[in-house]
Amino acid sequence: MEWIHSLLFDHTALQAVVVLSLICAIGLGLGKIHVKGVSLGVTFVFFAGILAGHLGLSLDAQMLNYAESFGLVLFVYALGLQVGPGFFSSFRQDGWQLNLWGLAVIAVGTLMAVGGTYLTGISLPDMVGILCGATTNTPALGAAQQTLKQMSLPANSPALGCAVTYPLGVVGVILALLLVRKLFVKASDLQPEGKEDVNKPFIVTFQVHNPAIFNKSIREVGGFSYPQFVISRLWRDGNVSIPTSEKVLREGDRLLVVTQEKDVPALTVLFGEQEHTDWNKEDIDWNAIDSQLVSQRIVVTRSELNGKKLGSLHLRNHYGVNISRIYRNGVQLLATASLTLQLGDRLTVVGEAAAIQNVEKVLGNAIKSLKEPNLIAVFVGIVLGLALGAIPISIPGMSVPVKLGLAGGPIIVGILIGTFGPRLHMITYTTRSANLMLRALGLSLYLACLGLDAGAHFFDTVFRPEGLLWIATGFVLTVVPVLLVGLLAFKWGKVDFGSVAGMLCGSMANPMALNYANDTLPGDNPAVAYATVYPLCMFTRVIIAQLLLMFLMC
């Protein structure tokens, strides 16, 4: 049995791979267990690592540091790529309000943590770790540890603080939501408001009765200062057609228009009369309505189209087809000429069968090519992120230059590449499953190393008086900001409770609490609000964890 002992305890590269794989496998397996509808998921790898460290397993210090750093970089970069496309758009429309409430949660928790260091005597590095655990934010913990290493200070104490407060951080948000709902939310407040995505395409029919547009081409009408719209079909004399931009409108023409719901009144004024037919139902048989036309979904797979404007392809005029809808990452977009195409966009094309075959050649539709991972963008992005994170930024009054580090640099570059890469014709597309794989692999490695490093002293810390103080402090840092800001947003800000719940879960980076909200609240407002605030709040917490240590420990 000596070979088993050597496999688990001798510090070699082989032993490191075996131990980390065992920890990840056990943690991920236990993370699938649900208790009262709540599971820890990949986070259970953290606690599996703690148990392994407590039982005496360890890795070579350099090997541990490498695996932990690589896992963190891989996770935060993939996270940046994921949230990048929606990062800046989350500030549009009503998103700015939810983001402000999310930042308020962060501000309250951060101020309480700083004040807690003076009231309780807990050191700032320990308090930052407690705050990371209370907000279930492991990327922020990684940023804090890297900052301490830059300052030549011990970096293991935040991990202990995070470990002892993390479980109640998960449960605390759910308890706070339960308390707010029990005491302040009426049954009528739980009815979904049916608030749809304001950018979601809306289909409506009009009949041309406005003399001002008689005998004018669609191009001329589109040049008027009216909201954006796309004329999908035109009925005239019992025939249906897909009009080109040069098609001249006549009195009595029936138009099928794709626009945004809020713009329907303005377009009614433009065209003259709206017909009250619901074209937005899922069960409409379009083939029966216009049997001579074919509708097909085509995927953009030609790399040279990445970053091009839809209007520059002139598909309507050249091929007599219409792009009625565009799906990107599960979201419907209005197919305007100014829309920038991205690799992986799914276009719903309507036209004659022969024309659609020609359009298919233009767009690619080679779905197999999208399944091949584009690792060049991943590794180039990681290099750029690490380079950005290594740049020293001198701030007056601080003896140590500020660096974004292993966590801050890659997440910023990931967000920027995910947002602007397609506009610069960079191939940044990764399938959702590939992105999830990168994130899960990186996070599992990072949490396994983190737990293994903290495990040797975890139980000694928990059962000491200061350990109980840490747990109590973390629970307060979880519950108080959620209760305070949640009540203000619901009562004073008049935000519906579903959106409040999603905003609180997103600002606390707590997907387990979001699962609870989705299961117990009607409608999809919690999920929409979570996705709206998560990118900014995640980024903000990563940066704040570093700034607290840099500014207050210099």
Each residue's pLDDT tens digit, 4-38: 877 788 788 888 888 899 998 998 888 777 766 55
Output the pTM of the full model.
Answer: 0.61
Residue closest to 350 by CA, chosen among 317, 318, 325: 325
User: Which residue has tokens 């701030």?
Assistant: 395
- Which tokens sit at 142? 């990684």
What is the DSSP code (8-state) at residue 59?
A: -
CATH architecture of 201-369: 2-Layer Sandwich (3.30)
Residue 487: predicted pLDDT: 92
Each residue's pLDDT tens digit, 77-122: 887 777 666 666 656 556 788 889 999 999 999 999 999 998 988 8
Residue 195: predicted pLDDT: 44
Residue 360: predicted pLDDT: 85
Residue 539 backbone class (left: φ over 0; alpha: ψ -120 to 50; beta: rest): alpha
**Average of per-residue pLDDT across 407-415:** 77
CB 403 within 8 Å of CB 390: yes
Q: Which residues contact 305 (CB under 8 A, 6 or more apart)?
A: 313, 341, 343, 363, 364
Residue 554, pLDDT > 60, answer: no
Residue 105: predicted pLDDT: 94
Mean pLDDT across the chain, nearest whole number?
Answer: 78
**What is the rounded distance in angstroms from the CA atom of residue 533 to the CA atom of residue 87?**
9
One-letter amino acid at 146 equals: Q
Residue 477, pLDDT > 90, answer: yes
CB 73 within 8 Å of CB 406: yes
User: Which residue has tokens 């999908």?
Assistant: 232
Highest mean pLDDT among 374-378, 485-489, 534-538: 485-489
Q: What percent of the chain has pLDDT over 90?
A: 7
Half-sphere exposure at residue 173, Cβ-oriented, CA atoms within 13 angstroms: 30
Residue closest to 511 by CA, chosen among 526, 498, 525: 526
**Average of per-residue pLDDT across 457-480:** 82
One-letter amino acid at 101 equals: W
Pairing assessment for the beta strands 254-260 and 201-208 based on DSSP bridges: antiparallel
What is the DSSP code (8-state) at residue 509?
A: T
Residue 286: predicted pLDDT: 54
HEC string for 396-440 = CCCCCCECCHHHHHHHHHHHHHHHHCHHHCCCCCCCHHHHHHHHH
Each residue's pLDDT tens digit, 366-403: 766 566 667 777 888 889 988 988 887 776 655 556 66
Strand order in the sheet with 230-236: 239-241, 230-236, 254-260, 201-208, 272-275
